[in-house]
Structure 1
Amino acid sequence: MINEQIRDREVRVIGEDGEQLGVMSSRDAMKLAREAELDLVKIAPTAKPPVCKIIDYGKYKYEQTRKEKEAKKKQKTTDVKEIRLSPNIDVNDLNTKANQARKFLTKGDKVKVALRFRGREMAHMGMSKQILDDFYSKLEDVAVIEKPAKLEGRSMIMFLGEKR
């Protein structure tokens, strides 16, 4: 809230250079802000009495957005990349998929390994856990299992994360 939007009877006022001006009516605080050709901005509305500061609102808003952008730059986002396998995958194909997963893991992404079953493959699920174990054994040096292999519908899913 700024200037006339502040409807509180009494507010604690902080001057433009940071010194405490004390508790006063919002009218008096507005008068002080106008004399300094600045805005009265409510910065702590939940305090008793609410805290207002005499500042240039445009500059304050600009500083806030710049701080938010800076914080956004520093945060790291992790994506979940999916690798799809089939129960009758060959050794070389498995190695290729493992190398792809290794790239994802070294970039800092998580990997979702999905072993898809189609048609009659559903009858031979006993061997499928072995395929996921082999896949993990190829990545043991860079990966750690975050969620172990679990059957969900027509696919067996396992999540891998980067080893710290």
Structure 2
Amino acid sequence: MDHENNNRGLIDTNEALRIAESVELDLVVVSQGKDAPVAKILNYGKLQYQQKKRQSQGSRPTVKEVRLRPNVGLSDYKLRIDNAIEWLGKGDSVKFMIRLRGRENQFRDRAGDLLDRIAADLSQVGKVQSLDKRSLIVQVVPA
């Protein structure tokens, strides 16, 4: 393909290089085909920049948030832990937050025990980055 995205078909390498030089661009082999390699006429520096940018965007680790109440049921707790294990396996970090409402504030120790239980259950697949019992948050990163 040339610089205007027109398919030139099968042409000689020397002719393709001459066309690329005439428009002051580079001849870049895109894929090594069985019959003949596929090449494009484009700015090679721009192509490298776009590839590097695309690669850095895809590798950003994300933080998944899970909010719980201190009196969470067993099945809900297991579901949240299983999701967290899956996320940690993919390379994401997980942040568990426990919310207290009204009279639940009287039983902050139960919320702290729940944080300890979460940290213990996720110790196989991740490591605890921060455990803050005052604000009732635990953050786990992949091991």
TM range (shorter): 0.5 to 0.7
- Aligned residue pair count: 106
Q: Which of 71, 74, 88 is matched with 2:55 structurally?
A: 74
Question: Are residue 91 (structure 1) and residue 74 (structure 2) matched?
Answer: yes
Q: Which of 115, 129, 135 is matched with 1:146 structurally?
A: 129
Deviations 1:114-160 (A, max 9, x none): 111111111210111110111122211101001112433xxx11110
Higher strand share: 1
What residue number does 1:134 align with? 117
Q: Secondary structure at the match of 1:87?
A: coil
| CA shift for structure 1 position 66 | 1.0
> Identity, % of aligned pairs?
26
Q: Structure 2 counterpart of 1:80, which letter?
A: V
Q: Which of 79, 87, 90 is matched with 1:104 structurally?
A: 87
Q: Secondary structure at the match of 1:151?
A: coil
RMSD: 2.2
Unaligned runs of 5+ in 2: 1-21, 27-41
In 2, distance between residues paired with 1:63 and 1:150? 53
In 2, distance between residues paired with 1:123 and 1:65? 60
Give yes or no for contact 1:82–1:114 (8 Å, CA) kept in 2.
yes
| TM-score (norm. length: structure 2) | 0.65
What are the equivalent positions in structure 2 for 1:9-48 lying under 5 Å apart? Answer: none
Q: Which runs of 4+ in 1 moved over 3 A?
A: none
| CA shift for structure 1 position 79 | 0.7
Give yes or no for contact 1:94–1:135 (8 Å, CA) kept in 2.
no
| CA shift for structure 1 position 90 | 2.0
| CA shift for structure 1 position 161 | 0.3
In 2, distance between residues paired with 1:136 and 1:109? 16
Unaligned runs of 5+ in 1: 1-36, 39-55
